[in-house]
Homo-oligomer: A and B are copies of this chain.
Amino acid sequence: MRGNLFAVGVDLVVLTVRGDDLCVLLVRRTEKPFENSWGLPGGFVAPDEDLPDTAARELAAQTGAGTAGRVSGHLEQIAGYAAPDRDPRGRVLSVAFLALLPDMPDPDQPDVVSGWHPVADVADLAFDHAQILADGVERARETLEYTTLAAAFCPPEFTVTDLRRVYEAVWRTEIDPRNFSRKVTSTPGFLVPTNRHVTGGPGRPAQLFRRGPATRLHPAMLREPAVRVG
Contact = CB atoms under 8 A, between A and B. Distances in A.
A188 interface: yes
Contacts of A218: 222, 224, 226-227
A80 interface: yes
Nearest to A90: B2
A19 to B, nearest CB: 30
Contact of A2 (B4, B7, B226, B229): B7
Among A47, A82, A146, the most chain B Cβ lie within 10 Å of the Cβ of A82
A49 B84 CA distance: 6
A6 B8 contact: yes
Interface in A67-100: 77, 79-84, 91, 93, 95
Contact of A84 (B2, B47, B188): B47
Interface in A12-45: 43-45
Interface residues of A, number: 38
A180 to B, nearest CB: 18
B47 A4 contact: yes
A121 interface: no
A9 interface: yes
B3 A6 contact: no
A51 B82 contact: yes
Contacts of A79: 77, 79-80
A83 B45 CA distance: 11
A188 B229 contact: yes
Given A8-B93, A77-B80, A79-B79, A3 B226 contact: no
Contact of A93 (B47, B48, B84, B93): B93
